[in-house]
């Protein structure tokens, strides 16, 4: 959504040049005339608010945030041919995603680049509501992310946590006590997910190469102007060619690992490093409702990428904001450390301890309330035209849920600005993170499309923070400096000034 100034100029010129063509097509398409859409800033003919957003110089989430005071809890942005309807209110979110969840549970049409990488919506997150989504989601939830399965991967997590702490320690030693938080956290989570996904032992270099590949894919997926103005797509043949090349590179890189795992399963004992279970095992012969064959190799690549991408940046982002808050609130850090010591004494904190650690759970909940890693849930769409808050919601609109509007709402929270884990302990405030008993925060979304990785991600965030605080005392770098809590949008909302912190090993 962050378009450079070069893009602004180029696209303004292009828009003028081809406006006649677009006008013709948009008129043919109907353009949403006669609908009572939610209010929104007036836009230009054809391009809608596209250039206003691009020219504002604000991150997209900031632009949206600034519209709320003027337009209220539900508003519209027209981005070229796409209509984006934003929900920024707990009651509307509950009505749409929970009470009328069946209606709001599909995804909008995919742009052409995304369609290439999702194998035409053959992933849990991109699939339309229907048999493919049901089959893929059921498999992920029941066969991979159930609580029994999660326990089986404890060894992988323990190993990754030890390596994570060693890496931090080594980095601090080489840099006078300073460490970059996001990078190490990201790598640790990625290692866990890789092992769970492929069930193969991989050296650090291979894991780093896979990570690079996945990052290249995410960059290729960044929205382009022709996603909003398809009539301009003839000017983007170079970018389309590049997307095809990146997809081919991804297939060439990932398929050999898939085949290696397939062989290890076919010849048990042949690969000594292969683990007993992996996500791929659940996918090889997966029965997809309405289809005779299981997933193709290309589809397996898309499903594995989804597994890796869904859980890596999101979790690492939470850790970065979490450490930033523990530095800015030393009393919270001390209290957390005290809880760890009183719960486990001198031994290493283990995920089995998490249940007993009330304060740790409160810190993580407060962290996800204040800093949901993604500010928008994945885009929803309605399966048939409907109304919400008296406005029309057409089937071709993107329904976007703005998450901070709920977690930061002063009608729902006392001093929402304050990072205060004690709010949950005092018994005065609480929130069901799954949204089942009420929607007060929704870092994982709510309703039928709620993040299937919720339980695993919560274990990862709890465990990483607990180990980090048990091993080290965290403070600002440079010493005495103030933490800047400005965010910037990448795939998630990370810290604008990526966090470097000082650590001191605990005595």
List, in sequence order, every residue forming a beta bridge with 397; answer none if it has no partner: 83
Quick one: 14 or 441, whose CB is closer to ligand HEM? Answer: 441
Quick one: 231 or 318, whose CB is closer to ligand HEM? Answer: 318
Q: Which residues contact 118 (CB under 8 A, 6 or more apart)?
A: 110, 126, 302, 306
Quick one: 38 or 108, whose CB is closer to ligand HEM? Answer: 108
Tokens found for residue 445: 């979304």
Which helix (DSSP H) or strand (DSSP E) does residue 399 occupy?
A: strand 397-401
Task: Report d(CA 247, CA 218) in Å as an integer.
Answer: 11
**90-94: long-range contacts at Cβ-Cβ below 8 A with a sequence spacing of 24 or more?**
90/405, 90/406, 90/409, 90/412, 90/439, 90/440, 92/388, 92/389, 93/401, 93/406, 93/439, 93/442, 93/446, 94/435, 94/438, 94/439, 94/446
How many chain residues interact with ligand HEM (CB under 6 A)?
Answer: 25
Quote the least distance from Cβ 403 to ligand HEM, whole Å.
7
451 binds ligand HEM (CB under 6 A): yes
List, in sequence order, every residue forming a beta bridge with 501; answer none if it has no partner: 179, 476
Q: Which stretches does DSSP call E strand in 30-146?
A: 74-79, 82-87
Residue 478: how many CB atoms within 10 A of its CB?
A: 8
Binding residues among 307-366 for ligand HEM as defined by CB under 6 A: 307, 310-311, 314-315, 318
Task: Report d(CA 25, CA 27) in Å as an integer.
Answer: 5
Binding residues among 131-170 for ligand HEM as defined by CB under 6 A: 137
Q: Which of 393, 456, 464, 469 binds ligand HEM (CB under 6 A)?
A: 456
Binding residues among 463-502 for ligand HEM as defined by CB under 6 A: none
Quote the least distance from Cβ 86 to ligand HEM, whole Å.
14
Binding mask 367-396 for ligand HEM (x = CB under 6 A): ------xx--xx------------------
265 binds ligand HEM (CB under 6 A): no
Q: Which of 443, 465, 468, 502 binds ligand HEM (CB under 6 A)?
A: 443
Alpha carbons within 13 angstroms on the beta-carbon side of residue 160 total 26
Quick one: 49 or 377, whose CB is closer to ligand HEM? Answer: 377
Q: Which of 73, 80, 230, 445 binds ligand HEM (CB under 6 A)?
A: 445
Binding residues among 78-137 for ligand HEM as defined by CB under 6 A: 124-125, 137
- 296 phi/psi in degrees, rounded to 5: -75, 170
Task: Report d(CA 178, CA 478) in Å as an integer.
Answer: 9
Which of these ranges, 255-263, 329-337, 347-355, 453-461, lies near ligand HEM under the rule CB under 6 A?
453-461
Q: Which of 399, 457, 468, 502 binds ligand HEM (CB under 6 A)?
A: 457
- 85 phi/psi in degrees, rounded to 5: -110, 125
Quick one: 83 or 309, whose CB is closer to ligand HEM? Answer: 309
Quote the least distance from Cβ 25 to ligand HEM, whole Å.
30
Quote the least distance from Cβ 294 to ligand HEM, whole Å.
19
Which of these ranges, 76-84, 198-206, 355-363, 456-464, lies near ligand HEM under the rule CB under 6 A?
456-464
Task: Report d(CA 105, CA 399) in Å as an integer.
Answer: 10
Q: Is the peptide bond before 478 cis (omega within 30 degrees of 0)?
A: yes
449 binds ligand HEM (CB under 6 A): yes
Tokens found for residue 196: 């769970």
Quick one: 8 or 149, whose CB is closer to ligand HEM? Answer: 149
Quote the least distance from Cβ 17 to ligand HEM, whole Å.
37
Which helix (DSSP H) or strand (DSSP E) does residue 398 occupy?
A: strand 397-401
The binding site for ligand HEM (CB under 6 A) comprises 124-125, 137, 306-307, 310-311, 314-315, 318, 373-374, 377-378, 443-445, 449-453, 456-457, 461
């Amino acid at each position: 959504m962050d378009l450079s100034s070069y893009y602004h100029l180029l696209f303004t010129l292009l828009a003028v040049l081809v406006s006649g063509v677009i006008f013709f097509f948009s008129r043919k398409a109907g353009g949403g005339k006669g609908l009572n859409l939610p209010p929104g800033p007036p836009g230009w003919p054809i391009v809608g608010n596209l250039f206003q957003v691009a020219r504002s110089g604000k991150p997209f989430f900031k632009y949206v945030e600034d519209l709320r005071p003027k337009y209220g809890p539900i508003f519209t942005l027209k981005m070229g041919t796409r209509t984006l309807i934003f929900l920024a209110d707990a009651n509307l979110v509950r009505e749409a995603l929970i009470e009328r969840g069946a209606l709001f549970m599909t995804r909008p049409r995919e742009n052409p680049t995304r369609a290439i990488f999702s194998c035409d919506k053959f992933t849990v997150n991109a699939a339309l509501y229907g048999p493919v989504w049901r089959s893929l989601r059921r498999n992920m939830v029941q066969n991979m992310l159930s609580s029994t399965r999660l326990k089986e991967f404890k060894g992988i997590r323990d190993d990754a946590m030890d390596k994570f702490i060693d890496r931090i320690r080594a980095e601090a030693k080489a840099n006078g006590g300073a460490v970059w938080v996001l990078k190490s956290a990201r790598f640790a989570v990625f290692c866990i997910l890789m092992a769970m996904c492929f069930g193969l032992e991989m050296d650090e270099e291979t894991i780093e190469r896979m990570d690079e590949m996945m990052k290249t894919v995410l960059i290729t997926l960044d929205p382009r102007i022709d996603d909003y103005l398809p009539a301009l797509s003839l000017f983007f043949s170079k970018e389309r060619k590049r997307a095809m090349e990146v997809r081919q590179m991804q297939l060439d890189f990932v398929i050999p690992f898939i085949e290696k795992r397939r062989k290890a399963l076919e010849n048990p004992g042949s690969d000594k490093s292969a683990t007993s279970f992996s996500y791929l095992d659940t996918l090889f012969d997966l029965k997809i409702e309405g289809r005779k064959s299981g997933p193709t190799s290309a589809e397996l690549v898309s499903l594995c990428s989804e597994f890796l991408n869904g859980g890596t940046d999101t979790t690492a982002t939470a850790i970065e904001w979490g450490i930033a808050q523990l530095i800015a609130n030393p009393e919270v850090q001390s209290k957390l450390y005290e809880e760890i010591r009183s719960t486990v004494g001198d031994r290493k904190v283990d995920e089995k301890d998490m249940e007993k650690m009330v304060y740790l759970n409160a810190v993580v909940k407060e962290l996800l309330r204040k800093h949901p890693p993604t500010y928008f849930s994945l885009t929803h769409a309605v399966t048939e035209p409907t109304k919400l808050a008296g406005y029309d919601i057409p089937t071709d609109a993107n329904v976007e849920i703005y998450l901070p509007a709920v977690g930061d709402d002063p009608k729902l929270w006392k001093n929402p600005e304050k990072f205060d884990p004690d709010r949950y302990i005092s018994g005065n405030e609480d929130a069901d993170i799954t949204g089942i008993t009420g929607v007060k925060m929704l870092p994982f979304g709510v309703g039928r499309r709620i993040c299937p990785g919720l339980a695993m991600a919560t274990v990862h965030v709890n465990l990483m923070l607990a180990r980090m605080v048990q091993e080290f005392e965290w403070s600002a770098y440079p010493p005495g400096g103030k933490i800047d809590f400005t965010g910037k949008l990448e795939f998630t909302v990370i810290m604008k000034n990526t966090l470097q912190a000082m650590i001191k090993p605990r005595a």
